[in-house]
Amino acid sequence: MAMAIRSLLIFLCILSITVPTFSLYEDQAGLMDWHQKYIGKVKHAVFQTQKTGRKRVLVSTEENVIASLDLRHGEIFWRHVLGTNDAIDGIDIAMGKYLITLSSEGSILRAWNLPDGQMWWESFLQGPSNSKSFLFVSTSTKVDKDNTILVFGKGSLHAISSMHGEIVWKVDFPAESFEVQEVIQHHDSNTIYVVGFAGFSQFDVYQINAKNGQLLKHNSAAFDGGFSGEVSLVSKAKLVVLDAAGSTLLTISFQNGEISFQKTYVSDLVKDFSGMAVILPSKLTGLFAVKTNTATTFISVSSEGQLEVVDKINHATVISDALSFSEDRQAFALVQHGDNDIHFNVKQGHDWNSDLLTERIKLNQQRGFVHKVFMNNYVRTDKSHGFRALIVMEDHSLLLLQQGAIVWSREDGLASIIGVTTSELPVEKKGVSVAKVEQNLFEWLKGHMLKVKGTLMLASAEDVAAIQGMRLKSSEKSKMIRDHNGFRKLLIVLTKSGKLFALHTGDGRIVWSLLLNSLRQSEACENPTGINVYQWQVPHHHAMNENPAVLVVGRCKPSSDAPGIFSFVDTYTGKELKSFGLDHSVAQVIPLPFTDSTEQRLHLLIDTSGKAHLYPRAPEAAAIFQLEFSNIYWYSVEADNGVIKGHGLKSSCDGEVANNYCFGAREVWSIVFPSESEKIITTITRNSNEAVHTQAKVVADQDVMYKYISKNLLFVATVSPKASGDIGSATPEESHLVVYVVDTVTGRILHRMNHHGSQGPVHAVFSENWIVYHYFNLRAHRYEMTVIEIYDQSRADNKDVWKLVLGKHNLASPMSSYSRPEVTTKSQSYYFTHSVKAITVTSTAKGITSKHLLIGTIGDQVLAMDKRFFDPRRSVNPTQSEKEEGILPLTDSLPIIPQSYVTHALKVEGLRGIVTVPAKLESATLVFTYGVDLFFTRLAPSRTYDSLTEDFSYALLLITIFVLVAAIFVTWVLSEKKDLRDKWR
């Protein structure tokens, strides 16, 4: 018997040695997360194709990103995000090896190394006043020749060395309001012409020595009608501009310093003209384009300044700048929209009727209109000239067109997400093929044919890549059906361009995308903008024939008093169900915790006049709303005026006739912060859908503390007016940060705390009964994080066991904001080493799992910190019972553990927000982080205590069970034999 047991133990030890360690290695990153890189909507682009080797295009975007893209595949070679306050004004290439960028309203000039993107030099420019910025780089492509870069910014013209970034000379113009429109320097000329406008109606021409910046000559002339819009330089000494009324074209000649104006009415060139004309920005020699209310008209300019219409195009039209593709030849691209395609034409500079290239390209209508086009040429194998075009679409996507086809495309609209919600995937039905959801019949047959070719070893390299993609798509985490644990969902995101995307949480692929017609420019809405996306209809999982839907809310103009827009979208198919314009503005959207029989969620919209509007506008919704009419309150924050108001409902809108869905508002309370001492900078409240597992909290001495849990609490942070600027704008004596906890039903201030010598920005998160906020301590020169926990003293008597036994406790009594709450607070502050962009908290289905704070750091990473680090009851020497409870010893600063970074070694460039979504599995939470990049992962704050991990070795488990059963049988046989031998003795 002993020998058998010894043999069993030796076998199990050997088996345990062969089991690998299940740690997270570098190659395992990405199994439960994905990371996508974007750049945003392109503003400027320059091609670098002169050298042999990799061809690239350098771009700058509206997200303040500069990047180098591969022309063959559209991949990012390198990229830099400059920051929210460092907008890029222009880019160009100098010396054939540097990318020059001008940013921050013409005050910062940088040179970046083209191959690797390293910054070579940086120059800060100063001037007497703010002004329009302008960048001019010599067209010479000679490498290592130190050409001079001309920059107009801050009211001054700077000449800067392209080799070292040193300022060679600087010219300050006498007129403070002078704005440069063009800087002209002819080849092999030492004279620079600077032309622009001073004030409303004065045109100035400055002649400057290119070597030393000496002012050679200055001429000016006035035009009574004034100037407006873009300027088109049509020759070396001639430009065209519109007058202030937008109805007259002015041809301005400034040859040899003599300025002359020549007027031509737009109505003489364009029939049926009305309103205001606009000159399209372009740099074409002897030609410019004017956009009117009816069409786009191309007009040529003769040497005498006479204007003549060349062509008139009624379709949406975009033109590129002129491109020199030989010694004396210029070309430009013209893009027109057809029914289901675009017409791409390349025309020669002086000959409108000759097309160097004509192509028609099929285009997805969900990309919208073409917004910009950048053209480049290349030499074919037969020595003829070919052309390619970089296209920026209405949905902010980027396409490269070449030889009549789309070479590659990038969905860079995802770099500007403004709203996020989630949707469940369909439930797998018995007898219904999953192909109904995932793909059509043709794609299903095509996939099986590819698999057969792969089995027979007949698949090409492209077929093998397609098969691998299909396998990835059909993997467990990428299926288009709902899973048991709730890990697979759809992320519904709304972008700044008005496009809606559905992203699969398994691998981040785009399931569908929809460019909303309601958020596109039209006669009814000249400049529509999206606000947010909300869950509208979430059918119960038994309602198999109903699809969930989302509500997209927008405005016709960026101003808050513009009329609102509604759009409803099916989250399974990506089709717009309906859309309509509202007859009122949208200042605030309040999702209510009620649904009708079709499971549409009720929403209350507050307009700028304070009226409340109920949606959906249906009798059933109105009846449900009337039952809860007296229990609905909301608040509004007027940060500029320092006022917070609480509102309730009145019976109906004043002056409204027969409208059961509009309600008046009554002011219940108001808090006015004195403007001379406090300014509101941050307000935050609890997530209305947060689940709280228990109200009681058992502390170390077996005492019970009851959390004050109310969805009607508001956290407010104010600073002194002098400290409302950037960090360091005020001294510690002038700065103070005051935080409040306010009940939004009664306006009662439950807690107030003053941090002397501190200032914002303040980032905060509110969960259950606690608040954590981040700010800067000027006295300590460090960031701090403070936690506040709120407890309900009115339930303190429930600690008596006999009251609980006899049922005399008040645990089941309803909480009311009108009954004066007896609350107590506990707080503690800690130093923190990072600046913060965003803070949120993990959320789970039942609220049982411990909370982790997710902190978006200044390094564009997400740090997960256990809520236990922010326990206000931490002490230097915790007692044994406190240690058993899990209270950590007190330290003055919060520890940052490198392994706690959720994003691993990755960065979410331009991080703006973190969204957490509970899974069905209580231990897990889904985290989506967005900015210029996207990142998604799955977290288990308390580890996977309710499930086995995906890499759990079931084979080892079965082998172990088999070995144990065999060992039991063997030992039983041996034991029986031993007993038999003992009995025969």
Averaged pLDDT, 542-555: 82
Higher pLDDT, 523 or 71: 71
Residue 267: band (very low, low, confident or very high) from pLDDT cuts 50, 70, 90: confident
What percent of the chain is modeled with pLDDT above 90? 34
pLDDT score recorded for residue 820: 72
pLDDT score recorded for residue 423: 92
Q: For the chain, report the end-to-end CA distance as a whole number of angstroms.
A: 18
In this predicted structure, the answer to whether residue 21 has a pLDDT above a threshold of 50 is no
How many whole angstroms separate alpha carbon 894 and alpha carbon 150? 49
pLDDT score recorded for residue 11: 40
Averaged pLDDT, 136-144: 63
How many whole angstroms separate alpha carbon 406 and alpha carbon 400? 6
Averaged pLDDT, 429-451: 55
Q: Do the Cβ atoms of 778 and 791 come closer than 8 Å?
A: no
pLDDT score recorded for residue 738: 94
In this predicted structure, the answer to whether residue 296 has a pLDDT above a threshold of 90 is no
Residue 16: band (very low, low, confident or very high) from pLDDT cuts 50, 70, 90: very low
What is the number of alpha carbons within 13 Å of residue 568 lying toward its C-beta? 14
Q: Which of 348-352, 378-382, 457-461 has the highest mean pLDDT?
A: 378-382
Residue 816: band (very low, low, confident or very high) from pLDDT cuts 50, 70, 90: low
Q: Do the Cβ atoms of 285 and 339 come closer than 8 Å?
A: no
Residue 225: band (very low, low, confident or very high) from pLDDT cuts 50, 70, 90: confident
Average pLDDT, rounded, for the chain: 84
How many whole angstroms separate alpha carbon 217 and alpha carbon 214? 9
- Alpha carbon separation from 552 to 329, 500, 566 (Å, rounded): 50, 9, 6
Residue 25: band (very low, low, confident or very high) from pLDDT cuts 50, 70, 90: very low
In this predicted structure, the answer to whether residue 60 has a pLDDT above a threshold of 90 is yes
Q: What is the pTM of this model?
A: 0.86
Higher pLDDT, 911 or 479: 911
pLDDT score recorded for residue 452: 67
- Alpha carbon separation from 9 to 15, 955, 959, 964, 968 (Å, rounded): 10, 20, 15, 11, 13
Averaged pLDDT, 365-372: 88
pLDDT tens per residue across span 603-642:
999 998 889 999 999 899 989 998 888 888 999 999 889 9
Q: In sequence order, which residues have a C-beta less than 8 Å from that of residue 238 and are 6 or more positions away?
A: 251, 252, 253, 254, 255, 301, 305
Averaged pLDDT, 175-196: 80
Averaged pLDDT, 247-276: 83
Q: Residue 841 in 3-state DSSP? A: strand
The residue count of the chain comes to 985
Which region, left, alpha or beta, applies to residue 188 given φ > 0 means left and ψ of -120 to 50 means alpha?
left
pLDDT score recorded for residue 141: 45
Higher pLDDT, 180 or 5: 180
Lowest-pLDDT choice from 281-285, 625-629, 739-743: 281-285
Averaged pLDDT, 329-338: 85
- Alpha carbon separation from 696 to 360, 767, 796, 809, 875 (Å, rounded): 69, 15, 10, 13, 22
Averaged pLDDT, 347-371: 84
Q: Do the Cβ atoms of 742 and 706 come closer than 8 Å?
A: no
pLDDT score recorded for residue 614: 92
> Tokens representing 421?
């919600």
pLDDT score recorded for residue 435: 39
How many beta carbons lie within 10 A of that of residue 899, not counting itself?
7
Helix (H) or strand (E) holding 627: helix 619-627
pLDDT score recorded for residue 739: 95
In this predicted structure, the answer to whether residue 925 has a pLDDT above a threshold of 80 is yes
pLDDT tens per residue across span 897-923:
888 899 988 999 999 999 999 998 888
In this predicted structure, the answer to whether residue 784 has a pLDDT above a threshold of 90 is yes
The Cα angle at residue 94 between residues 88 and 97, in degrees rounded to 5? 105
pLDDT score recorded for residue 18: 34
What is the number of alpha carbons within 13 Å of residue 584 lying toward its C-beta? 21
Taking each helix axis from N to C terminus, what angle separates 441-455 and 461-473, rounded to the nearest 10 degrees? 120
Burial code (b: 16+ CB inside 10 Å, e: under 16) for 405-443 equals eeebbbbbbbbbbbbbbbbbbbeeeeeeeeeebbbeeee
